[in-house]
């Protein structure tokens, strides 16, 4: 079995910078914060994708409330469990 190029890059970056005892986050967070721009892998290091979802002005709790009352078929003011919600 061969290892992918992405797995190789991720592994090298993790080996290079990750310190689990630093308290600076998980390995992906530490690699994303890497400042070694001279490194040939810096431009292709693993980073989080920006959130490109359109902003609606609604909060996550609005989405949960909608899902509980509409998507799960619960009655008005009841969540998925049938327990009244405030």
Q: What digits encode the pLDDT tens for the residues 12-40?
A: 999 999 999 999 999 999 999 999 999 99
Q: What digits encode the pLDDT tens for the residues 38-79?
A: 999 999 999 887 767 777 665 555 555 545 554 444 444 444
CA torsion angle 57 61 67 68 (round to 10): -150
pLDDT on residue 15: 95
CA torsion angle 51 55 59 60 (round to 10): -40
How large is the average pLDDT for residues 1-8? 92
Reading phi first (left if > 0) and then psi (alpha if -120 to 50, else beta), residue 10 is in alpha
- For residue 72, give both structure tokens: 């799960």
């Amino acid at each position: 079995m061969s290892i992918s190029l992405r797995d190789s890059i991720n592994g090298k970056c993790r080996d290079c910078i990750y310190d689990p005892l630093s308290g600076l986050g998980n390995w992906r967070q530490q690699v994303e914060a890497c400042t070694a721009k001279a490194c040939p892998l810096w431009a292709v290091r693993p980073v989080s994708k920006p959130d490109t979802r359109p902003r609606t002005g609604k909060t996550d709790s609005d989405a949960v409330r909608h899902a509980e009352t509409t998507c799960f078929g619960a009655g008005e003011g009841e969540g998925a469990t049938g327990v009244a919600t405030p």
